[in-house]
């Protein structure tokens, strides 16, 4: 297994998200995280993406299914709505997204980071 994680300017994300992943043509998992000028925040997003990818892959939810859903969700988003596509009851990966978020919550607790402040930072992008 080969995994490449990079931080990028938020404007360079494929769609309005702070974390994205895909498997490239040689089988490398690519994870892109929006720069937040905080290694721990960026690292938590990367861990979320990795956990979500692993759990989805294990049960056969494809990257295409996830991306298609996310793009549709974003295309239909009402201005001001900050909901994450992965929490939508229609998301094919709601369980995996929810668990990955619980990992982030646990990391915040272990590092004495206020999850609500972290979440505000992520949503500010």
Q: How many CB atoms lie within 10 A of CB 110?
A: 8
Q: How far apart are the first and last CA of the chain?
A: 31
Instruction: Please state the rounded mean pLDDT for residues 29-55.
Output: 97
pTM: 0.94
Domains of the chain, residue spans = 3-64+87-124
Whole-number Å distance between alpha carbons of 123 and 84 = 10
pLDDT confidence of 16, banded at 50, 70, 90? confident
Whole-number Å distance between alpha carbons of 47 and 8 = 16
User: So what's the pLDDT on residue 15?
Assistant: 85
- Per residue in 45-102, pLDDT (tens digit) is 999 999 999 999 999 999 999 999 999 999 999 888 888 999 999 999 999 999 999 9
CA-to-CA dists, residue 60 to 55, 57, 92, 96, angstroms? 9, 5, 10, 12
Instruction: Please state the rounded mean pLDDT for residues 11-36.
Output: 95
């Amino acid at each position: 297994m080969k995994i490449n994680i990079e931080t990028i300017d938020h404007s360079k994300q494929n769609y309005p998200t702070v974390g994205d992943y895909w498997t490239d043509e040689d089988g490398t998992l690519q994870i892109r995280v929006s720069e937040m000028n905080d290694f721990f925040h960026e690292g938590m997003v990367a861990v979320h993406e990795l956990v979500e990818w692993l759990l989805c892959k294990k049960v056969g939810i494809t990257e295409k299914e996830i991306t298609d859903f996310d793009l549709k969700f974003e295309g239909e988003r009402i201005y001001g709505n900050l909901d994450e596509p992965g929490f939508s009851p229609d998301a094919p990966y709601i369980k995996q997204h929810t668990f990955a978020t619980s990992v982030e919550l646990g990391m915040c607790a272990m590092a004495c980071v206020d999850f609500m402040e972290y979440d505000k930072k992520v949503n500010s992008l």
